[in-house]
Every structure is written in structure tokens, then in C-alpha cells.
Copies of this chain bind each other. A is one copy, B any other.
């Protein structure tokens, strides 16, 4: 692994290393969700959710599609994410 690889991997871990984003990811692991859904399941405001989703999207962890008025977010690689979260949960 070269320097850039470490940088890239560290960005990935930091991206998922936030409680709100982990909650979002856990929701998305169950199902695709639009922003409003996420907001209801998680205790924080709309702007904040939207920001966290933007971060996850920017780092290619989620993607979204328009559906009328709303945007549905989904995991780009749910299996990979599930494996990683399961491992991390085990380590408690």
C-alpha cells in the first residue's frame, strides 16, 4: 500500500465513523429511504441529515435517485458495508 491508499482508506473509515452517519447507514441497510424517512428514524434536523447524506454520497458510499418530489438514498455496496459493520459490532 502506498501513501495515497492509506489516505483513501482513512477517509473511508472517517466517513463511516460518525454516529449519525452510522445510524443512517443502518437504516439504509434495511431499505432504500428518502430523506424524510431517515429524518423520522433519526433524532436530528433536516439540514443535518441532508449534510450527512451529502458526505456519504461524496465518498461514494451511498447514491440516490429522484422520485417525484423526493430523493431516495441507497447504499452502493450494501453487502460490503454490512460485513464491515458486523465485524465492528462484534468487536465490542
Chain A interface residue count, Cβ-Cβ cutoff 8 angstroms: 32
Counting CB contacts under 8 A, is A47 at the interface? no
Give the CA-CA distance A32 to B32 in the complex, in Å. 43
Majority DSSP secondary structure for residues of A touching B: helix
- Measured between beta carbons, the chain B residues less than 8 angstroms from A23 are 6
A40-92, CB < 8 A from B: 77, 80, 83-85, 87-92
| Smallest CB separation, A56 vs chain B (Å) | 13
Asked whether, in the complex, the Cβ of A7 is within 8 Å of the Cβ of B26, the reply is: no
Asked whether, in the complex, the Cβ of A13 is within 8 Å of the Cβ of B10, the reply is: no
Asked whether, in the complex, the Cβ of B6 is within 8 Å of the Cβ of A17, the reply is: no
3 tightest Cβ-Cβ pairs between the two chains A and B: A13-B17, A14-B17, A6-B19
